[in-house]
């Protein structure tokens, strides 16, 4: 049992991109999405890296994802994602983040990944990284298929609520806990703990960190996870063809959200 925990956001904190959007290429190679769809996904990724995914866009991404996934076979989705993770996510892991995770484990703290991405993506990545637990968005599944409804959306204040609940169950004092994130939308997550850190912060979070005197960390060296954890499986060069899983749906939803926002602003 640990007396405290370190809570890590996932995208642009542990890995150098969006965990969901990074999986799109595997489905293109499997013939499940078109080259044009991949181009749209690339645009969504660019917007994401430029810091353009605010709370409003995330809400529309959530709604688009939930609606589009209605009827998908949940087990097939998990299988497709699992087949792609080791190849596409592994090389994007920040060396600094992995070292920090190891340091927290060595200090006797639990490591928890907290991400708005779906548990289908976050769970396997957490296992690859040796995280003790994950907090992720969950979709409702009935009779083995997604209903299009969300059971839990791990975003903003909901992340902080889930952290408090998990801390209470495990006997962790949040004042002794750590949290790391790149996004201003995660201010509730950071202010919930005694040791908050801004990692590769967007402009808004950088300003917030300066006002609150929060430390700012820069992670800049993506490395293969297998270089630190030899038990991580080698990349698979083929992906089982079944359904276009959550990653593809989210890439498309991210594109539509970015395009709608651009039209509104223009």
* Whole-number pLDDT of residue 150: 77
Residues recorded for the chain: 266
- pTM given for the model: 0.74
Strands (E), 128-233: 133-142, 145-152, 178-181, 195-199, 216-217, 222-223
CA 166 to chain centre: 18
pLDDT score at 245:
32
d(CA 162, CA 189): 9
pLDDT confidence bin for 263, thresholds 50/70/90: very low
What's the whole-number mean pLDDT along residues 52-70?
56
- Residue 239 is inside which H or E element, if any? none
Q: Is the pLDDT of residue 5 over 70?
A: yes
Rounded to whole angstroms, how far apart are CA atoms 68 and 61? 11
Task: Give the model's pLDDT for residue 243.
Answer: 27
pLDDT tens-place string over residues 165-219: 999 999 999 999 999 999 999 999 999 999 999 999 999 999 999 999 999 999 9
Highest mean pLDDT among 11-15, 100-104, 153-157: 100-104
Higher-scoring residue by pLDDT: 221, 145:
221
Catalogue the active-site residues. 9, 11
Pick the CATH number of 5-265 from 3.40.1530.20, 1.20.58.100, 3.30.379.10, 3.40.50.1000: 3.40.50.1000
DSSP, residue by residue, 51-110:
T---HHHHHHHHHHHHHHTTT-BHHHHHHHHHHHHHHHTGGGEEHHHHHHHHHHHHTT-E
- 101's CB contacts (< 8 A; 6+ apart) are 6, 8, 14, 111, 129, 130, 131
Q: What is the reported pLDDT for 153?
A: 86
Q: How far apart are CA 63 and CA 57, in angstroms?
A: 10
User: Can you give the pLDDT at residue 46?
Assistant: 40
Helix (H, G, I), strand (E, B) or coil at 129: helix
**Using CA atoms, how far apart are residues 96 and 111, in angstroms rounded to an integer?**
15
Q: What pLDDT was estimated at residue 242? A: 25
| Higher pLDDT pick, 144 / 25 | 144
- The pair of structure tokens assigned to 154 is 């791990």
Confidence of residue 147 (pLDDT cuts 50, 70, 90): confident
| 230 vs 240: which has the higher pLDDT | 230
Q: How far apart are alpha carbons 225 and 16 in whole angstroms?
A: 13
pLDDT tens-place string over residues 74-124 = 777 777 777 777 766 776 889 999 999 999 999 999 999 999 888 888 898
């Amino acid at each position: 049992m640990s007396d405290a925990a370190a809570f890590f956001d996932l995208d642009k904190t542990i890995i150098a991109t969006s965990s969901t959007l990074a999986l799109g290429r595997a489905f293109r190679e499997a013939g499940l999405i078109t080259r044009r769809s991949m181009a749209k996904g690339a645009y969504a990724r660019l917007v994401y890296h430029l810091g353009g995914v605010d709370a409003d866009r995330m809400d529309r991404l959530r709604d688009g994802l939930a609606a589009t996934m209605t009827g998908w076979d949940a087990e097939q989705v998990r299988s497709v994602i699992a087949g792609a993770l080791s190849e596409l996510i592994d090389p994007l892991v920040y060396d600094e983040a992995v070292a920090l995770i190891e340091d927290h484990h060595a200090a006797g703290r639990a490591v928890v990944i907290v991400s708005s991405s779906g548990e289908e993506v976050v769970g396997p990545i957490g296992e690859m990284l040796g995280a003790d637990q994950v907090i992720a968005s969950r979709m409702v599944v009935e009779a083995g298929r997604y209903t299009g409804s969300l059971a839990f959306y791990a975003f903003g204040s909901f992340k902080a609520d889930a952290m408090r609940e998990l801390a209470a169950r495990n006997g962790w004092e949040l004042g002794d806990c750590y949290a790391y994130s790149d996004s201003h939308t995660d201010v509730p997550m950071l202010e919930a703990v005694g040791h908050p850190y801004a990692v590769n912060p967007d402009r808004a979070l950088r300003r917030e960190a300066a006002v609150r005197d929060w430390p700012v960390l820069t992670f800049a060296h993506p490395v293969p996870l297998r270089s630190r954890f030899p038990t991580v499986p080698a990349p698979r060069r083929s992906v089982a063809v079944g359904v276009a899983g959550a990653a593809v749906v989210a890439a498309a939803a991210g594109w539509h959200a970015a395009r709608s926002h651009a039209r509104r602003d223009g």
